[in-house]
Structures are given as structure tokens and as C-alpha cells.
Amino acid sequence: MTDRYQRFTNSGFGRQLVKRLGLPNPTPLRRHRPGDPLLDGPALLGAAPGGRLADQLARVLKTAGVDTGGGDTNAALVFDATGIDVPEDLRALYDFFHPVLRGLGRCGRVVIFGTPPEGATGRVAQRALEGFVRSLGKELVRGSTAHLVLVEPGAEDRVESTVRFLLSGKSAYVDAQVIRVGGGPATAPDDWDRPLAGKVALVTGASRGIGAAIADVLARDGAHVVALDVPAQGADLAAVANRVGGSTLQLDITAADAPTRLVDHLRTRHDGVDIVVHNAGITRDKKLVNMKESAWDAVIAVNLASQLRVNDALLAENAIRDGGRIVGVSSIAGIAGNTGQTNYGTSKAGVIGMVEAYAPLLAERGGTVNAVAPGFIETKMTAAVPFFVREAGRRMNSLAQGGLPVDVAETIAWYANPASSGVNGNIVRVCGQSLLGA
């Protein structure tokens, strides 16, 4: 979709006018292209005294080909804050970042590592890190982002996939998020450019928009994609599957026999599945006082109830392999709510509940379940939104622009990576740090 305002602000006259009037100034984001280096410049690595991750982070960055010597301009600032135990120790954040923030390059990255507060000796000080990161994310300019990664003690060797994702252009529209890394066997892929080679991935709602982008990215990373959608979308679905070298399954996932048919298909054709992405979703927007019961029932059935039925069938029949990944697509509407979307917000909050409920079950099998929560994403659906509502959606985030379907897809691919075994039970917003929600 075309963001004409962003094109204007990046013209000569537009840059002058934006600066003079203090208008939003969205920077074109650095997005991943095959063959790109992780960063387009050096990273500066720092640590508070007593931290436990600095050596591991240095090894990961070296393996990824990142220069950690630092410079006058840095593409990333990486800080190990696990040694912060008392409020006075928080001064280490100021001492490290204050002198170097002005030298953070365009579309730079700030990544801070801490310990989950509930398991930390310095619980209060570690909880304070979240306020620092979320505030800093709103101060950064020129497309830069900030994140907090909470690493459980003993999970130090499971951070690589998360480091690579957050530093790369794959996380372009992910900003000011708190990510938890815990237990699980760390299995680095043979090829970081094709980490899903040999995997089978099911993507529901795959015929268009975000679903088609998910299919593209998972296939790029080596997976065979089983693209699923309703029969009415058969032509578009076939086009997506052909483009990515995958296969199709035309199925209404709300049908009573859908879970059984899906399990049979996956076991017969593919001997099971490794990655399940619950992307299928619908909207039937009306204020509750004007909403018909059919609109309520349809949204809950497609967006939530069908996912639980599919999960239960896959797990009961062992159709999802050990180490498998389940990814739900929630929404910031499920976090912050939205006028006219009581049914949709309810269903998307339920997806978050699904992640919380199933995370222990998947962990027992060496697998994970996580969700993405997109904000304003440029699709045909948002292109049809009234102009002023659309502009508000684009500008009301720290990056002052809408995201792209590929931004959601890249986040899902990070969850699916075999090296992301420690990332379980997370809800990551893909919203440019929307001003709505937490």
C-alpha cells in the first residue's frame, strides 16, 4: 500500500516543512533482504558489573559477523543488565547509553538483556528495566527500536535466534517489546538463511494479505507450506501455494469435522506437521448494541474456537511433531480494545489466553506456542478504512507509519526457528510501539 504522507516527508520540500512544523517524520525502515548482513555497521556491547550474559552475547555477535568494537556511529547498542540488583545499580543504564545514543545510526537497534523479575535477586531493579526500554523506545528517532530480553538463569545459550532477529531488518516494525527466553534444547540450524529446511508448516487463511506473506517467508526459510483457506478462496490459495512451492488444503476450519480432516491430511500427505500458524481470522465490526448474534458467533468461531479444536486434535493424535511450533495471530485490539470490535477484541484476547494455556503442554513435548499481536498493517482491508482513521492508525506509534504484512511474517518465522526453543509463551506486538495498549 502507498503511504503518500511518508513519500512527501522524504522529499526535499517535505523534510523542511516537517522539521519546521514538528510533524510526524516516518523514516523508511530497514527491512531484511536475502544476503543482507545482520547490521549495516558496528555494535557497541556493554554490561553492568556482575552480569552473566556479556560473554555469550559477544560470541553470538561474532558468529553472526557483527563488529563489536563500536565506533562514532553504531548500528546497535547491546547491554547486559543482568548484574543490576538494586535501584542504585540502574545508574549503569544512564552511564552506558547517555554518551552514545546520539551516535546510534538510522534504523538502529537497542537491545537490553535482563532476568525475569520474579526469579531475580534484584526483583525491583530488574522490573524497572521495562519502564526504561518502553520510554527509550518513544525517544529514539530515524526508525530505531529498543527491546528488553529477559533470560532465565541457565538459558544463556538460547539467545542467539532472538539476538539475530532483533538486530536484523526482520524486526523492522517490532518496537519496545519484552521477550522472555527460558528452557528448551537449543538447536542451531545448519544454515541460518534456511533454518526451516525439512519442516512442514501449516498456515491458515493463507490465500491473501498477511497469510500469503507468512507463506512466502516460511517457504523462503526452507519450509514446505501447506496453505489452508476456505473453498471460496481456492484460486487465490492455489496461486500462493504455487508461488512458494507448497501445497493447498481447501477447508472451512469451523466445520465440525475440520480438525479430523486436517489431522488426516497432515498425517497422510506429510507424516505430520512441525509448524502451525493460526492466521485465519474475520471481522464483523459493529458496536455491541447494534451487533447481531450471528456476527458475534462467527468471529468467535473463526478467530478462537476453531484454533483450540485444531490444537487439541493435533496434540491428541500426535500429528504435531515433538519440538513443534504453534503460533497464534492476536491483535492490539485484544490488548487495548477497540470501538466497534467487542467480538474481535474478545477473540484476540482469547488467543493470548490460548498461548498461556498451551505453553506448558508444548514445553513437555519440546515445543513452543507464542503469538504475534499486529497493530496497523498495510493491507487491502486497511486501505479501505476512511482516510482520517487510516492516517491516525499509521501515525499513532513510535515509528509514525504502518507496518507491512512481511513484518508479521518475519516475527512468526523467528518463533518457528528451531533455535527459538527457549521462546515459549510470548506475545510480541508488531505495531511500531503503538500508543494504544502496553
Going by C-beta distance under 8 Å and a sequence separation of 6 or more, which residues neighbour residue 300? 343, 346, 347, 350
Active site residue 344: yes
The active-site residue out of 173, 344, 358, 415 is 344
Please name the residue ranges forming H helices in 122-159: 123-139
Alpha-carbon 294 to chain mean position? 31
Could you tell me the maximum CA-CA distance found in the chain, to the nearest angstrom?
Answer: 64
* DSSP tag of 287: -
Which uninterrupted H or E stretch holds 79?
A: strand 74-80
Residue type, 257: D
Identify whether the C-beta of residue 380 lies closer than 8 Å to the C-beta of residue 213: no
Identify whether the C-beta of residue 338 lies closer than 8 Å to the C-beta of residue 389: no
Spell out a b/e string for 117-128, using b for 16 or more CB atoms within 10 Å of the CB, else e. beebebeebbeb
Identify whether the C-beta of residue 250 lies closer than 8 Å to the C-beta of residue 230: yes
320-329 and 273-278 beta bridge pairing:
parallel
Grid cell for residue 435: 500508543
Identify whether the C-beta of residue 63 lies closer than 8 Å to the C-beta of residue 201: no
Phi, psi of 417 (to 5 degrees): -55, 135
Just list the catalytic residues.
344
